[in-house]
């Protein structure tokens, strides 16, 4: 049947050339239109099995929670500059934005900007948000706003806190609390120093110092206060692939424009959306570069191999048309590509060109032997058709075997590549002969015009050196087999040593702005963006989940809405303390500072400095670096005493004379005391906290759009990327809290497991299916087995060589193992086919002719995959190295093993 | 023949049972070995800071009354040189001296349950004094090889009304010298919160002494290494040595 089909195709190519061209043009046009519907998603979760609970939950979170899809602006510079930049940028991004370089109407891409804490809410309910223990410790401060009393109370409270240092700084949250306290004191002392120096203080500055002391820093500043985060809540989510590109580009343009007004500030975009945009942009760009490069390199190689320009051009043209057909069909079957399936085109280039090479090789060989156009076309298809169709079928089946897996990463890649490969094969059988006939006819016409013979002079296009290798191996079969066996055993030992790199960050693009800023956020804010999510249906459930999650050994911190809505029991316990603060402050009276108060004030300031010094020592011993650094900034260190500190500045200013100092301190007291009293009274509000009283900016952060679901964010206590057992433990422990746990750590943990399992299963299935196909094709157990031998040894060589050259397996290149089974089998299939056609003692002709084609196809595949080395995505590069090793190994095992078996079997005959 | 065999087994069992001490006896011996009357040592302590860096401290330490009273003074690095801690009554009373401010401050009484100077050790972890004897009910779980030595695996369950430092401790005691080689500390949910490994055990002045102790906090995923650089049990305190006045020296 295959023969009949081939004869028919050869006949159509020669006798119905124009009709065939028109039909093919029509198909190309239709598939081109269809391929326009293809898009790409940057979400790793889209690689998990369809219907996976983690994916469903993740998508639901992206859909329901505005805060889950955010663009993070990271600004760096000095504190004042970055705050000014944030104030400038915030209103600008909320406007209608245009996308540079795109002819689109301006649109609103940002719904809200969170870059400051909601101070009004904090000042309305601040004390009810404090833990009972903190209220007990701190309430002394709020007894009397008079400067001397306030300093005394501050010291008392400081020392009370100090006597529980380990408890108060045993985890990150408590360390952050200590920093807020220190920052407040520092600004307070600076305000005193400023007033003593200038004799005046602006009301707004005094009030800001009070706010810092009472509710902390409003901006989201890093620990060194040299970086600031703004959280942009977009009008779209991670699910909208096109909006990710447009929205991020529009925001980037505004940011660039704003930066012109702030030359001392550096800023960029990060967060899930910006990373998604960068990944899509750079992966597309990388794949485009890879495709262009591979076309160029393959064309150059074919030009050198065939010693003519037209044949490679036709092969590439046929490939391009085949790819268009493939893209059109794939767009219908799998309209949205993920990061893995996006590279199917590169695979098709590497493998699809092989069909053309085999057909052109035999066609030109037949023409060079002097056969007529009709006969050469037929003979070309007949001699290469069997190998091409079986090779295409085995490779397609190998890819289809990937569909056995649960993960969409593998199953979709398998499906689209198999479909694509078959599409390119069809175009190679149907279209390429037509092209070759057209080309030959035009060539003949030109020759006739020039008065030359229409027929081409016979030429030998075979590769003699390969033929010689074939003879050598064929004549010394046992020596060759022994050599291969020794190498294979050694490489098998090497392969056993190969390790698996679980760090997904090593697969990401290096130097992407958004990813580099993630590192900045990690370093400066000690904040990982790789958190897990838990969803609950009520505030109470969220509180309960938070409590359970916090107890897990693998959890560093948990954030949810219950921070702002303490339980009724907690609120009831806090009420008496808050009422006490209210009563004390209400009954307080500020008296003017008298000269005889100065000694006490000075003493208390010195005591405050000493308290910070002791806090600093305990922080150093306790390894609390952030607290130690902040203390050192405020009071210096004994081994490197600074010239001036906020405290030494104040001491110097006390020498101005008692009456002057008294006057200035009264100015300071007058500026802040009233505001301090009113703020404390306002904060001492015992009205119950509930969802209804929370401001929208807070509720949006934790609640779904319809307020029916609540999001809990869980940060791991270890590095999930560098410690795979920890990632696994974190996921398993969280699943004990909620079955609906999701987020990057959980998804990646599942993905690593699933892809590993899928890869193994697919490899086994591929081996079985390929053997069955070969059995059907050759109708001989022996030949099917021999054809598979180079592949089996090649696979071992591949992993062994990777280990020797220092490569590790990872989540991308592990896919090379099942892939190489499909790709590598072709070499053996073509050589065995030709061997059976040519008969005994034919190693010379088989290797010099088909061997040359196999060499060419291996080189083109290597060039296509090798072009991915230049992709900014290290994952693609990792896969490309593995496939280069694999394809190279399969070629060498083919030209050594098969002639050896030919020699052995021929001897028996 | 059968009678002879029975008598032989009976004698064998009797000899074996006479040789295996009870859990209480093992814990008594451990307490005796771990609590020499007096000691003076120099040591180092390595911690991992909150930003993941390693920090090494060096200190001198004095102990008396089987660990009931002790004092530790840091010698390196410069940032805390001279800072000292005085612990009396099995760490029920703790004072700290800060050389930069020249102040002595008393820590809260519950501080002994907290982390000791930023390490993963608490003041109570080592079972100073007779904590293991008085606050736990012990049983032998099994005999097994631990780091190449035959050891008893002792389970110690905290007696609730005795305020034990941990609800449960599993301790491996080397049979050759009754020295504990490892301790696992458990919380109320039976989670192994911390693990202590004692190694490089040398006999110093007839007391087996672990020259290296590594405490791993399984929740915080941190660890602290304490090394004894120099130790003598011949040191005797002078009168008033464990005092606030001496703390300031």
Domains, chain B, in order of start with CATH, read: 21-247 (2.50.20.10)
Encoding tokens for residue A591? Answer: 């008296």
C-alpha distance from residue A752 to each of A343, A501, A744, A811 (Å): 19, 11, 12, 7
Give one DSSP letter per residue of A456-516, joined into a string: PPP---S-HHHHHHHHHHHHSHHHHHHHHHHHHHHHHHHHHT--B---GGGTSBTT-HHHH
Who contacts A501 (Cβ-Cβ below 8 Å, separation ≥6)?
Answer: A808, A809, A810
Q: With contact defined as beta carbons under 8 Å apart, do A576 and A131 qualify? A: no
- Is the CB of B115 less than 8 angstroms away from the CB of A175? no
Dist. CA B184–CA B205, nearest whole Å: 28
**Rounded average pLDDT over A49-54:** 78
- pLDDT given at position A200: 92
3-state secondary structure of A906: helix
* d(C-alpha A609, C-alpha A631), whole Å: 10
Same domain, A649 and A747: no
Domain ends where: A423, A449, A475?
Answer: A449
Helical residues (DSSP H) of A708-851, grouped into ranges: 724-737, 744-778, 781-804, 816-838, 843-845
- Nearest C-alpha of chain A: how many angstroms from B240? 25
**Residue B5 pLDDT level (bands cut at 50, 70, 90):** very low
% of chain A at pLDDT higher than 90: 24
Nearest CA distance, B220 vs chain A (angstrom): 7
Residue B232 Rama label (left phi>0; alpha psi -120 to 50; beta): beta
B197 strand-pairing partners:
B182, B214
Sign of CA dihedral A244, A246, A247, A249: positive
The structure tokens 């029916």 sit at A708
> For residue range A633-685, what is the model confidence (pLDDT) as tens digits?
999 987 777 778 899 999 999 988 899 999 999 999 999 999 999 999 999 99
- C-alpha distance from residue A321 to each of A327, A343, A349, B163 (Å): 10, 18, 11, 81
What is the maximum alpha-carbon separation in chain A?
122
Q: Which residue has the tokens 């606030």?
A: B244
What pLDDT does A846 receive?
84
Domain match, A192 and A323 both: no
Q: Best-predicted range by mean pLDDT among A122-126, A158-162, A431-435, A851-855? A: A122-126
Q: Who among A166, A526, A617 is closest to B100 (CB)?
A: A617
How far apart, in whole angstroms, are the C-alpha atoms of residue A355 and residue A318? Answer: 10
Residue among A162, A164, A620 minimizing CB distance to B80: A620
Number of domains within chain A: 5
Through-space distance between the first and last CA atoms of chain A, rounded to whole angstroms: 30
Please provide the DSSP assignment of A53-120 as one string: HHHHHHHHHHHH-GGGS-EEEEEES-HHHHHHHHHHHHHHHTSEE--TTS----EE-EEEEE-B--HH
**Domain-located, residue A613:** yes
Question: H helices of A226-343, where?
Answer: 241-259, 271-306, 310-333
Question: How far does CA A118 lie from the centroid of its chain?
Answer: 32
The average confidence (pLDDT) of chain A is: 84
Residues A704, A728 within the same domain = no
Segment A702-727 mean pLDDT: 84
Q: Considering the domain boundaries, does residue A40 fall inside one?
A: no
Class of residue A7 by CB neighbours under 10 A (exposed 0-12, middle 13-18, buried 19+): middle
**Of A762 and B114, which is predicted with more confidence?**
A762
Q: Which DSSP symbol is given to B130?
A: T
Q: State yes or no: pLDDT of B171 exceeds 90.
A: yes
Mean pLDDT of B28-54: 87
Tell me the C-alpha to C-alpha distance, in Å, between residue A826 and each of A241, A324, A462, A850, A890.
38, 23, 19, 12, 9
Confidence of residue A460 (pLDDT cuts 50, 70, 90): low
Helix or strand (DSSP H, E) at B10? helix B2-19
**Span A33-38, average pLDDT:** 83
Lookup: tokens for A190: 């600076």
Mean pLDDT calculated for residue range A356-370? 79
Q: Is the Cβ–Cβ distance between B112 and B100 less than 8 Å?
A: no
A331 vs B16, more confident: A331
Provide mean pLDDT across the span A715-735.
Answer: 83
Q: Do A266 and A399 share a domain, yes or no?
A: no
Q: Do B78 and A639 touch (CB under 8 A)?
A: yes
At residue B111, the pLDDT reads: 53
Beta bridge partners of B136: B158
Confidence of residue A895 (pLDDT cuts 50, 70, 90): confident
Are the beta carbons of A621 and B118 separated by less than 8 Å? yes
pLDDT of residue B18: 47
Report the gap between the CA of B53 and the closest CA in chain A (Å): 9
Q: How confident is the model at residue B61 (pLDDT cuts 50, 70, 90)?
A: very high
Q: Which of A472-481, A509-518, A603-612, A666-675 has the lowest mean pLDDT?
A: A509-518
Between CA A520 and CA A526, with CA A522 as vertex, the angle to 5 degrees is 130
Tell me whether residues B221 and A718 touch, CB distance under 8 A.
yes
Q: Compute the distance between CA of residue A429 and CA of residue A437 in angstroms, rounded to an integer.
A: 13
Residue B11 pLDDT more than 50? Answer: no
Asked if B175 and B154 count as a contact pair (C-beta separation under 8 A), the reply is no
Alpha carbon of B24: minimum distance to chain A alpha carbons (Å):
32
What local confidence, expressed as pLDDT, does residue A163 receive?
Answer: 42
pLDDT for the residue B140: 93
- Helix-strand-coil split of chain B, %, nearest 5: 20, 45, 30
Question: If we measure between CA atoms, which residue out of A319, A427, A377 comes closest to residue A8?
Answer: A377
- Inter-chain touch A553–B221, beta carbons under 8 Å: yes
A442 and A336, same structural domain? yes
Higher pLDDT, B67 or A219: A219
Instruction: Return d(Cα A219, Cα A83) in angstroms, integer.
Output: 8
Residue B124: the pLDDT is 64
Please tell me the predicted confidence (pLDDT) of residue A213.
87
A188-197: average pLDDT: 94
**Nearest-angstrom CA–CA distance, A412 and A734:** 29
pLDDT of B122 = 72
Question: What average pLDDT score do residues A340-361 get?
Answer: 81
Residue A164 has pLDDT above 90, yes or no: no
Q: What pLDDT is recorded for position B12?
A: 47
* Residue span of the structural domain in which A322 resides: 1-35+308-449
Q: Sort out which chain A residues have CB atoms less than 8 A from B185's CB and list them.
A: none
> Which residues of chain B lie closer than 8 angstroms to A175, CB-CB?
50
Q: Which helix (H) or strand (E) holds B223?
A: strand B222-232
Report the C-alpha dihedral over residues B4, B7, B12, B17, rounded to 10 degrees. 170
Instruction: Choose from A164, A622, A632, A715 for mutation: most chain B CBs within 10 A.
Output: A622
Note the pLDDT tens digit of each residue in A217-273: 889 999 888 999 998 988 887 777 678 888 899 999 999 999 999 999 999 999 888
- Predicted confidence at residue B16, as pLDDT, reads 44
Rounded mean pLDDT of A846-860? 84
Question: What pLDDT is stored for residue A882 in this prediction?
Answer: 92
Contact A617 B98 (CB under 8 A): yes
Residue B154 clears pLDDT 90, i.e. is over it = yes
Tell me the Ramachandran region of residue A789: left when phi exceeds 0, alpha when psi lies from -120 to 50, beta otherwise. alpha
Q: A453: exposed, middle or buried (C-beta count within 10 Å: 0-12, 13-18, 19+)? A: exposed
The pLDDT, as a whole number, for residue B129 is 67
List of chain A residues whose C-beta atoms are within 8 Å of the C-beta of residue B125: none
pLDDT the model gives residue A461: 64
List the single range of A49-53, A118-122, A765-769 with lowest mean pLDDT: A49-53
CB-based burial label for B189 (10 Å; 0-12, 13-18, 19+): exposed
**In the prediction, which pLDDT does B14 show?**
43
CATH number of the domain bearing residue A80: 3.30.70
Sheet holding A555-559, edge to edge: A555-559, A710-716, A532-536, A742-743
Question: Which SS3 state, helix, strand or coil, does residue A809 take?
Answer: strand
Query: Are A704 and A595 found together in one domain?
Result: no
* Residues A333 and A416: beta-carbon distance below 8 Å: yes
pLDDT at A462 exceeding the cut of 60: yes
Flag whether A290 is in a domain.
no
More confident call, A2 vs A500: A500
Question: Does the residue A154 lie in any domain?
Answer: yes
Mean per-residue pLDDT for B184-188?
A: 88
C-alpha A505/C-alpha A723 separation (Å) is 12
Is A68 a domain residue? yes
Same-domain status, A540 and A510:
no
Of B56 and A434, more confident: B56
The answer to whether A267 and A73 are in contact (CB under 8 A) is: yes
pLDDT at A187 over 80: yes
Pair (A199, A105) in one structural domain: no
Residue B51 has pLDDT above 60, yes or no: yes
In a domain, A636, yes or no: yes
Q: Is residue A767 part of a domain?
A: no
Quick one: A872 and A888 in the same domain? yes
Q: Identify the CA nearest to A265 among candidates A92, A77, A400.
A: A77
3-class DSSP state for residue A443? helix
Residue A790 lies in a domain: yes
What CATH number has the domain bearing residue A852?
Answer: 1.20.1640.10
**Chain A residues within 8 Å of chain B (Cβ atoms):** 159, 162-167, 170-172, 175, 526, 551, 553, 610, 613-614, 617-618, 620-626, 637-639, 717-718, 726
Chain B CA closest to residue A168: B114
**Span A840-853, average pLDDT:** 82
- Would the pLDDT of B1 be above 80? no
- Shared-domain flag, residues A705 and A728: no
- pLDDT in the model for residue B110: 55
Predicted confidence band of residue B123 (pLDDT cuts 50, 70, 90)? low
How many separate helices (H) and strands (E) can be counted in chain B? 4, 13
By mean pLDDT, which of A110-114, A749-753, A800-804 is the weakest?
A749-753
Asked whether residue A691 carries a pLDDT value surpassing 80, the answer given is yes
Q: Do A836 and A885 fall within a single domain?
A: yes
Q: Look at chain A and count its residues.
A: 909
Kindly list the residues from chain A whose CB atom is less than 8 angstroms away from the CB atom of residue B96.
618
Least confident of A272-276, A475-479, B34-38, B110-114: B110-114
Specify the pLDDT at position A215. 86
Q: Which of A250, A337, A239, A354 is nearest to A294 (CA)?
A: A354
User: How does pLDDT run across A558-602, given as a tens digit for each residue?
Assistant: 889 988 999 999 999 999 999 999 998 988 888 999 999 999 999
CA dist list (Å): A306 to A172, A349, A377, A797: 68, 19, 17, 30
Cα A486 to Cα A482: distance, rounded to the nearest angstrom: 6
Q: Residue B35 carries which DSSP code?
A: -
- Residue window 219-248, chain B: list those with CB within 8 Å of chain A: 219-221
Query: Is the pLDDT score of B226 beyond 80?
Result: yes
Chosen for mutation from B45, B49, B50 (greatest number of chain A CBs closer than 10 Å) is: B50
Size of interface A-B (CB pairs under 8 A): 83
More confident residue, A440 or A213: A213
**Three-state DSSP class for B98?**
strand
Same-domain status, A662 and A577 = yes
Q: What is the ipTM of this complex?
A: 0.85
Q: Is the CB of B83 inside 8 Å of chain A's CB atoms?
A: yes
Whether the pLDDT of residue A75 is over 90: the answer is yes
A71: cis peptide before it, omega within 30°?
no
């Amino acid at each position: 049947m295959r023969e009949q089909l081939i004869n028919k195709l050869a006949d159509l190519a020669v006798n119905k050339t124009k009709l065939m061209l028109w039909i093919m043009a029509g198909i190309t046009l239709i598939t081109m239109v269809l391929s326009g519907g293809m898009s790409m998603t940057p979400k790793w979760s889209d690689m998990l099995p369809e219907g996976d609970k983690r994916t469903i939950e993740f998508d639901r979170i992206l859909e329901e929670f505005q805060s889950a899809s955010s663009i993070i602006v990271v600004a760096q510079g000095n504190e004042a500059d970055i705050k000014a930049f944030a104030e400038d940028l915030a209103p600008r991004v909320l406007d209608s934005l245009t996308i540079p370089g795109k002819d689109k109407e301006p649109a609103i891409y940002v719904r809200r900007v969170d870059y400051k804490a909601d101070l009004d809410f904090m000042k309305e309910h601040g004390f009810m948000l404090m833990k009972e223990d903190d209220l007990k410790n701190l309430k002394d401060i709020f007894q009397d706003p008079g400067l001397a009393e306030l300093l005394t109370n501050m010291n008392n409270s400081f020392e009370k806190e100090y006597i529980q240092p380990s408890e108060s700084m045993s985890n990150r949250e408590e360390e952050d609390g200590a920093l807020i306290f220190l920052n407040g004191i520092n600004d307070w002392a600076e305000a005193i120093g400023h007033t003593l120096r200038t004799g005046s203080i602006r009301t707004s500055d005094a009030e800001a110092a009070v706010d810092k002391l009472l509710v902390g820093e409003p901006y989201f500043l890093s620990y060194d206060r040299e970086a600031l985060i703004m959280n942009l809540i977009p009008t779209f989510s991670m699910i909208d692939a096109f909006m990710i590109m447009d929205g991020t580009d529009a925001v980037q343009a505004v940011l660039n424009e704003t930066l012109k007004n702030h030359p001392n500030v550096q800023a960029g975009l990060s967060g899930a959306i910006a990373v998604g945009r960068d990944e899509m942009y750079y992966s597309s760009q990388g794949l485009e570069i890879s495709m262009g490069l591979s076309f160029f390199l393959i064309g150059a190689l074919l030009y050198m191999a065939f010693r003519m320009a037209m044949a490679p051009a036709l092969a590439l043209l046929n490939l391009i048309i085949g790819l268009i057909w493939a893209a059109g069909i794939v767009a219908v079957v799998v309209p949205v590509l993920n990061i893995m399936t996006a590279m199917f085109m590169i695979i098709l280039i590497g493998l699809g060109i092989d069909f053309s090479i085999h057909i052109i090789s035999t066609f030109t060989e037949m023409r060079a032997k002097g056969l007529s156009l009709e006969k050469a076309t037929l003979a070309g298809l007949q001699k290469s058709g069997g190998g091409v169709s079986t090779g295409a079928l085995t490779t397609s089946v190998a890819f289809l075997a990937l569909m056995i897996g649960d993960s969409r990463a593998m199953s979709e890649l398998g499906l689209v590549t198999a479909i694509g490969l078959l599409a390119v094969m069809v175009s190679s059988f149907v279209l390429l002969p037509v092209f070759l006939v057209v080309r030959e006819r035009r060539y003949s016409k030109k020759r006739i015009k020039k008065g030359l013979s229409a027929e081409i002079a016979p030429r030998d296009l075979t590769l003699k050196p390969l033929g010689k290798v074939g003879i050598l191996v064929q004549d010394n079969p046992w020596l060759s087999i022994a050599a291969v066996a020794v190498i294979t055993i050694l490489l098998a030992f090497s392969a056993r040593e190969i390790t698996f790199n679980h760090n997904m960050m090593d697969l990401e693009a290096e130097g992407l702005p958004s990813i580099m800023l993630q590192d900045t956020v990690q370093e400066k804010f000690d904040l990982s963006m790789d958190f897990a999510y838990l969803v609950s249906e009520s505030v109470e459930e969220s509180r309960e989940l938070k409590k359970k999650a916090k107890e897990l050994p693998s959890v560093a911190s948990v954030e949810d809405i219950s921070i702002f809505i303490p339980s009724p029991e907690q609120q009831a316990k806090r009420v008496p303390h808050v009422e006490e603060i209210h009563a004390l402050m209400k009954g307080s009276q500020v008296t003017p500072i008298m000269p005889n108060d100065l000694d006490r004030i000075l003493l208390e300031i010195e005591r405050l400095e000493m308290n910070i010094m002791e806090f600093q020592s305990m922080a150093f011993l306790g390894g609390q670096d952030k607290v130690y650094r902040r203390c050192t900034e405020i009071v210096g260190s004994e081994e490197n005493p600074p010239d001036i500190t906020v405290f030494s500045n104040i001491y110097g200013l006390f020498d101005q004379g008692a009456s002057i100092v008294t006057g200035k301190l009264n100015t300071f007291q007058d500026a802040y005391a009233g505001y301090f009293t009113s703020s404390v009274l306002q904060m001492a509000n015992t009205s119950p906290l509930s969802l209804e009283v929370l401001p929208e900016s807070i509720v949006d952060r934790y609640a779904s759009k319809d307020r029916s679901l609540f999001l809990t964010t869980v940060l791991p206590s270890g590095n999930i990327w560098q410690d795979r057992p920890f990632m696994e433990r974190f996921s398993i422990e969280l699943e004990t809290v909620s079955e609906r746990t999701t987020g990057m750590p959980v998804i990646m943990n599942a993905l690593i497991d699933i892809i590993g399992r899928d890869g193994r299963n697919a490899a086994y299935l591929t081996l079985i299916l390929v053997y069955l196909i070969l059995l059907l094709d050759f109708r001989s157990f022996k030949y099917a087995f021999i054809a598979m031998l180079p592949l089996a040894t090649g696979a071992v060589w591949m992993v062994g060589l990777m280990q020797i050259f220092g490569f590790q397996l990872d989540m991308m290149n592990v896919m090379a193992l099942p892939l190489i089974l499909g790709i590598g089998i072709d070499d053996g299939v073509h050589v065995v086919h030709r061997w059976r056609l040519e008969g005994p003692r034919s190693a010379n002709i088989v290797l010099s002719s088909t061997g040359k084609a196999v060499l060419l196809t291996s080189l083109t595949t290597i060039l296509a995959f090798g072009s991915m080395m230049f992709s900014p995505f290290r994952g693609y590069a990792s896969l490309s190295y593995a496939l280069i090793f694999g394809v190279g190994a399969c070629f060498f095992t083919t030209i050594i093993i098969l002639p050896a078996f030919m020699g052995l079997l021929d001897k028996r005959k | 023949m059968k009678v002879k065999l029975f008598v032989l087994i009976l004698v064998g069992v009797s000899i074996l049972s006479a040789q295996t001490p009870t859990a209480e006896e093992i814990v008594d011996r451990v307490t005796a070995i771990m609590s020499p009357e007096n000691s003076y040592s120099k040591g180092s302590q390595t911690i991992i800071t909150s930003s993941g860096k390693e920090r090494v401290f060096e200190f001198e330490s004095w102990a008396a009354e089987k660990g009931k009273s002790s004092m530790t003074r840091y010698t390196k690095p410069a940032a805390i040189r001279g800072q000292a801690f005085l612990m009396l009554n099995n760490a029920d009373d703790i004072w700290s001296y800060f050389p930069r401010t020249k102040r002595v401050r008393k820590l809260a009484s519950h501080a002994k349950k907290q982390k000791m100077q930023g390490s993963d050790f608490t003041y109570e972890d080592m079972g100073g004094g007779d904590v293991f004897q008085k606050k736990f009910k012990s049983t032998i779980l099994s005999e097994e090889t631990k780091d190449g030595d035959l050891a008893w695996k002792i389970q110690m369950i905290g007696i609730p009304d005795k305020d034990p430092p941990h609800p449960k401790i599993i301790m491996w005691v080397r049979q050759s010298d009754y020295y504990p080689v490892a301790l696992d500390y458990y919380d109320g949910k039976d989670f192994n919160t911390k693990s202590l490994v004692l190694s490089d055990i040398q006999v110093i002045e007839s007391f087996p002494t672990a020259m290296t102790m590594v405490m791993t906090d399984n929740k915080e995923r941190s660890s602290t290494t304490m090394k004894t650089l120099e130790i003598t049990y011949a040191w005797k305190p002078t009168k008033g040595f464990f005092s606030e006045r001496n703390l300031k020296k």
